[in-house]
Each structure stands twice: as C-alpha cells, then as structure tokens.
Amino acid sequence: MERRDFIQAAGLFASLGMLPNTGLMAQPGTLPANLATDPLKPFYLPPSEPLSHKGNMDIRVWVRSEMTGGVYSCVECAVAPKVMGPPPHYHKELDELMYVLEGTASVMVENEVVEIAAGGWHFRPRNLKHTFWNASEKPLRFVDMYFNQPFEQFLERIFHELTPENGFPRGSEQHKRAHDLLNEQFGLVYAPTAFEERQAIAAKYGLQ
C-alpha cells in the first residue's frame, strides 16, 4: 500500500472501539517477521469507558500494528485541564493523524498553533516539529493514529513501563538512558531548544 493510501483509510479505524492491553512486542520499533506471509484477520474491539487522564495524561492502545500488517495503529490519549504535552519534536519516519473526541487540543506545528475542537482532525506529516497541550479548563481526549511504525509500543513503554514504580524515577540517569534509546529506535528527534520551548509554552498558557 502506498503512503498516500494510508491516510485515506484512517477514517475507517477511527470509529472502532477500545482494545484491551495485550502487552508489548519483544523488540520496540519492529514488527513480527511473519507479517509478510500471514493474512490479515478481521477483528472486533468492544466499547469501553472513556480513558481517565489520572490528573495529568495517560494513553490506551486501540489498534496494534501487528493487527493491521504494520500499516496502522492508534491510541486514545486523555489530558487533564491545563496540562502541557511533550517538548517540541519531530519523527523521521512516522506520520500522525489526530481525531479529537472531547475538549479542544492546541497543536503547534513549526511556529503555527491551531485549535482542534471535538470532531476535528489534524494531520502531522513526518519531519515537522510539533507538540500539543490542553489550554482549556476541561478535559481533552483524542485518538492519535500512526502509519507504518508501531509507535504504540513507544507510548506504552513511556507511560506504563518507565515509571518510578518500575525503577525509573523521573530525572534519573536510568530513565534518561531508556528514553534516549527509545527515541533512537523510533526516530524521534527533539529540537535543540525543545525543553526551553516547552517551558515557554507552559508559562504562556498557564500549564503544568
């Protein structure tokens, strides 16, 4: 399938229900070798309660890359009011498509900020610096869709494995090393001034 065809198919997946957590694949950033020969199978994802932001931000996987032959995956993301997203960054190989379910997402691409209200879509091609945040007083919830890379693995590791409870205290050397390794594996690149830019955005919009 050509890259342009991935985007045309994305809307078909956005209406699907939630997928229970089935665990990470062994090698982050890779897909099973048998995907080239095994036929795809239909699947049904039953409805689930909306994801909680737990006072900050959390993610839940819907569709995993191995379910679609490596073409597509997506996660639900919940963001508490007045919470800043990641430092500005870009992806070497990943294209992202966002569909907002609840609230309003503020998305910065390069130097432009756009507001995406519930029901709106936003596409971010690879190699463009971007970030997002919730500047409102209401919760934000959206589906983020990924093409040609199992980026759901990256997010699950960041949100649910590299935690203080698992021996990765925030700001520790072991946390930084694990994060840097994931960035390299998935081709995620931070801008040279990324963390300063994040602080400036948070200060401007009163975010935590």
| pLDDT score, position 36 | 55
Terminal alpha carbon distance of the chain: 41
| pLDDT score, position 37 | 64
Q: Structure tokens of 130?
A: 């971007």
Q: Which of 147, 100, 101, 151 is nearest to 125 (CA)?
A: 147
| pLDDT score, position 39 | 84
CB 12 within 8 A of CB 45: no
pLDDT, tens digit only, all 208 positions of the chain: 454 554 444 444 443 433 333 333 335 566 666 655 678 999 999 999 999 999 999 999 999 999 999 999 999 999 999 999 999 999 999 999 999 999 999 999 999 999 999 999 999 999 999 999 999 999 999 999 999 899 999 999 999 999 999 999 999 999 999 999 999 999 999 988 999 999 999 999 999 9
| pLDDT score, position 13 | 43
Q: Structure tokens of 22?
A: 């089935």
State the number of CA atoms in the 13 A half-sphere of 16 facing the CB.
25
What are the extents of the domains in the chain?
53-205
Number of other CB atoms surrounding residue 34 within 10 Å: 8
| pLDDT score, position 29 | 60
CB 197 within 8 A of CB 204: no
Q: Structure tokens of 60?
A: 């839940």
Q: Which amino acid is at 52?
A: S
For residue 180, with 0-12 CB atoms within 10 Å meaning exposed, 13-18 middle and 19 or more buried, which class applies? exposed
Vertex 25: Cα angle to 5 and 128 (nearest 5): 45
| pLDDT score, position 183 | 97
| pLDDT score, position 161 | 96
Which H or E run includes 178?
helix 173-186
| pLDDT score, position 31 | 61
CATH of domain 53-205: 2.60.120.10
Beta strands in 118-158 (DSSP E): 121-124, 130-134, 140-147
